[in-house]
């Protein structure tokens, strides 16, 4: 079953509201119980004092008899009133409070219609709770010190419990009535809150494979803005990847057109050559063209694999001395073919930088390969690895033709080559180096030796991760 945010919120909010409301009702009942008992006890006190004010010592037996007769007739009057008005009374409200009046000899002088004949309380003033005829009564007793007359005003406990139960039922009834409306309101409110997600989904649905523009986040809620930001970053990475693919195809078509045409021409010429010596020369030219095309393809693939968006958090510890020693060992046979001496000058202790080991290897290989390609035979190439302050320096120095100062910025452009050089190349090597330098937040400087001609390439790597 597919999970639904709206259903999840609706169910959990209703459950939470039920729990909180139930706790609130229980708390209110506890507090209302105290307030209700206090209020009903106050009514008992008021009733006792009122009765005492009307029934004094001067009341005769005849007066008490007349009052008793009227009290006994009260239920009939109340019943007639109910039948005339059809007013719904809470139980028999006229029977809730009962009273008894006792003289100083303990004789019952007067009582309410439903009051028992036995005393509701002892001859002690104040509140008490007593069992009378199998019923629990809450009683307030007032004893007149002068006359000895005692007035007991009581209320049955089950009446109070019934009142509290009615309050509880009303609270639960109101809660149950409001539940459907509450559920509808939550459903509508959550739906309105999810409209922004549907809006983003519609906008993404309308995008074509070639349309990778960022999603508009002006009216997006703060809760889903991080998701949209990451989605926009993904679109950006896809856009860059597509651009690299297009650039790779364009670069390959541009750079391979000439060597492939030359290979075709040289092959056609070789087919018609009868002299073995000339045929050998033609085949050497074909082999040289194949090597140049392979080098171009390798450089293009290397540039395509470079991901400038990689973050420093993805880097490992790279031993710059070890990487330089490894790459120079691989480049030595190529240097020997041109009678070029290569020397590594570095400390025995490792110099560790945060970086990507394959990328650092490619950087060193390209710098040394460029030096070998453009230096004449019998030249010297020196590679230095040293630590200075908070940076590690990789220096590749040669005594070749060098690069004019006004072209040192342009040599990092793709396919740019200095005119007049006879070495075979694709013009992509330093472009790859520039990408790797940017990836590591490093710095590259092109210079020249203090004496003679040549080129000195210095790459300054930070020794620690920098927050950029």
Residue 380 lies in a domain: yes
Residue 185 lies in a domain: no
Average of pLDDT values for 80-106? 61
- Do residue 93 and residue 145 come from a single domain? yes
- The residue among 305, 336, 365 that closes a domain is 305
- Do residue 67 and residue 164 come from a single domain? yes
Summarised one tens digit per residue, pLDDT across range 27-71 is 777 766 677 778 788 888 888 888 777 776 555 555 666 776 666
Which of the two residues, 89 and 350, has the higher pLDDT score?
Answer: 350
- Do residue 126 and residue 220 come from a single domain? no
- Do residue 128 and residue 239 come from a single domain? no
Residue 456's domain comprises 311-462
Residue 195 lies in a domain: no
Residue 186 CB-density burial (10 A; 0-12 exposed, 13-18 middle, 19+ buried) = middle
- Do residue 426 and residue 321 come from a single domain? yes
Confidence class of residue 461 from pLDDT cuts 50, 70 and 90?
A: very high
**Structural domain count, the chain:** 3
Residue 70 lies in a domain: yes
- The residue among 271, 289, 305 that closes a domain is 305
Residue 467 lies in a domain: no
- Do residue 9 and residue 151 come from a single domain? yes
Any residues with CB less than 8 A from the CB of 9 and at least 6 apart, and which?
186, 190
Read off the pTM.
0.44
List the Cα angle 74/80/81 in 5-degree steps.
90
The alpha-carbon radius of gyration of the chain (Å, integer) is: 51
Q: What pLDDT does residue 90 have?
A: 44
Whether 180 has a pLDDT exceeding 50, the answer reads yes
**Which pairs with CB-CB distance under 8 Å and at least 24 residues apart come from 440-444?**
440/315, 440/353, 440/354, 440/355, 440/356, 440/359, 440/360, 441/312, 441/466, 441/468
- Do residue 25 and residue 123 come from a single domain? yes
Share of the chain above pLDDT 70, in %: 75
Whether 86 has a pLDDT exceeding 80, the answer reads no
- Do residue 154 and residue 231 come from a single domain? no
Q: What pLDDT does residue 61 have?
A: 57
Least confident among 177-191, 220-234, 308-322:
308-322
Q: Indicate which CATH number applies to the domain containing 316.
A: 3.30.565.10
Average of pLDDT values for 216-244? 76
Q: How far apart are CA 112 and CA 97, in angstroms?
A: 9
Residue 223 lies in a domain: yes
- Do residue 288 and residue 323 come from a single domain? no
Whether 359 has a pLDDT exceeding 70, the answer reads yes
């Amino acid at each position: 079953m597919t999970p639904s945010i709206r259903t999840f919120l609706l169910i959990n909010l209703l459950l939470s509201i039920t729990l909180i409301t139930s706790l609130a009702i229980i708390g209110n009942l506890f507090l209302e119980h105290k307030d209700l008992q206090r209020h009903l006890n106050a009514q008992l006190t008021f009733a006792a004092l009122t009765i005492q004010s009307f029934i004094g010592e001067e009341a005769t037996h005849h007066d008490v008899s007349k009052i008793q007769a009227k009290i006994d007739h009260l239920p009939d009057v109340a019943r007639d009133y109910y039948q005339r008005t059809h007013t719904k009374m809470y139980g028999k409200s006229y029977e809730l409070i009962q009273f008894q009046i006792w003289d100083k000899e303990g004789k019952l002088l007067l009582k309410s219609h439903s009051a028992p004949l036995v005393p509701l309380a002892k001859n002690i003033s104040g509140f008490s709770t007593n069992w009378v005829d199998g019923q629990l009564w809450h009683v307030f007793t007032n004893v007149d010190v002068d006359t000895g007359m005692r007035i007991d005003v009581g209320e049955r406990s089950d009446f109070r419990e019934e009142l509290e139960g009615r309050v509880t039922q009303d609270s639960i009834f109101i809660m149950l009535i409001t539940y459907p409306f509450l559920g509808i309101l939550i459903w509508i409110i959550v739906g309105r809150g999810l409209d922004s997600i549907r809006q983003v989904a519609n906008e993404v649905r309308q995008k074509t494979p070639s349309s990778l523009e960022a999603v508009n986040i002006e009216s997006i809620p703060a809760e889903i803005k991080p998701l949209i930001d990451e989605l926009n970053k993904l679109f950006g990475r896809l856009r860059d990847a597509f651009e690299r693919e297009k650039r790779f195809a364009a670069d390959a078509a541009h750079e391979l057109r000439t060597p492939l045409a030359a290979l075709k021409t040289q092959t056609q010429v070789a087919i018609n050559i009868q002299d073995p010596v000339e045929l050998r020369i033609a085949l050497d030219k074909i082999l040289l063209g194949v090597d140049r095309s392979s080098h171009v393809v390798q450089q293009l693939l290397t540039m395509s694999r470079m991901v400038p968006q990689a973050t420093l958090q993805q880097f490992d510890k790279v031993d710059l001395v070890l990487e330089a020693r490894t790459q120079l060992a691989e480049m030595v046979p190529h240097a020997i073919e041109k009678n070029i001496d290569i020397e590594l000058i570095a400390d025995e202790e490792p110099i560790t930088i945060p970086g990507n080991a394959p990328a650092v290897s490619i950087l060193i290989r390209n710098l040394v390969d460029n030096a070998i390609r453009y230096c004449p035979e019998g030249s010297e190439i020196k590679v230095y690895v040293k630590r200075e302050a908070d940076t590690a320096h990789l220096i590749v120095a040669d005594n070749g033709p060098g690069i004019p100062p006004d072209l040192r910025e342009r040599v990092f452009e793709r396919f740019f080559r200095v005119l007049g050089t006879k070495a075979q190349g694709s013009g992509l090597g330093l472009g790859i180096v520039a990408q790797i330098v940017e990836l590591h937040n490093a710095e590259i400087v092109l210079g020249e030796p203090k004496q003679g001609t040549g080129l000195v390439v210095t790459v300054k790597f930070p020794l620690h991760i920098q927050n950029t």
